[in-house]
């Protein structure tokens, strides 16, 4: 039970220190940073479109497609890091499962390349 309280205490100290550090950084950034508002700075900006046009213009679906592809390949990297770190402790089954994962992602990548989803006409 004493070990439990020691661990909880160290976690609590870490959380309190992080809140204190966040407060100090926010305080100093608001206190000492210059505030120079400009019409260009405070205007809305959306995906490369001119912010002074009508908001109801047609939005190209390729922006969404590229964003989804970025998220997919970003999540792939999240799966690679733990696998690479624990690679020496894994059995051969884990190797083939990751190989299958990479193979399926490769098929998906070549499919979107073949249909032209990555082309910007």
pLDDT, tens only, 12-57: 999 999 999 999 999 998 888 887 777 776 666 655 555 555 666 6
Residue-level pLDDT at 49: 56
Range of the domain at 112: 59-121
Q: Does the residue 27 lie in any domain? A: no
Q: Does the residue 6 lie in any domain? A: no
Mean pLDDT value of segment 49-67: 69
Q: Is 22 helix (H, G, I), strand (E, B) or coil?
A: helix
Could you give the number of structural domains in the chain?
Answer: 1
Q: Which two tokens stand for residue 31?
A: 């206190």
Q: Is 120 helix (H, G, I), strand (E, B) or coil?
A: coil
With a threshold of 0.75, does the pTM exceed it?
A: no
Q: Does the residue 67 lie in any domain? A: yes
Q: Does the residue 114 lie in any domain? A: yes
Dihedral angle sign, alpha carbons of residues 12, 15, 18, 24:
negative
């Amino acid at each position: 039970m004493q070990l439990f309280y020691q661990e909880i205490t160290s976690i609590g100290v870490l959380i309190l220190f992080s809140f204190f550090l966040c407060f100090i950084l926010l305080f100093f950034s608001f206190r000492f940073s210059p505030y120079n508002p400009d019409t260009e700075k405070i205007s809305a900006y959306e995906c490369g479109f001119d912010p002074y046009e009508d908001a109801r213009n047609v939005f190209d679906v390729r922006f969404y497609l590229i964003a989804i592809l970025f998220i997919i390949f970003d999540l792939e990297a999240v799966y690679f890091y733990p696998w690479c770190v624990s690679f020496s402790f894994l059995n051969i089954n884990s190797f083939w499962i990751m190989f299958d994962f990479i193979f399926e992602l490769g098929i998906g990548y070549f499919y979107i390349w073949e249909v032209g989803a990555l082309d910007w006409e």
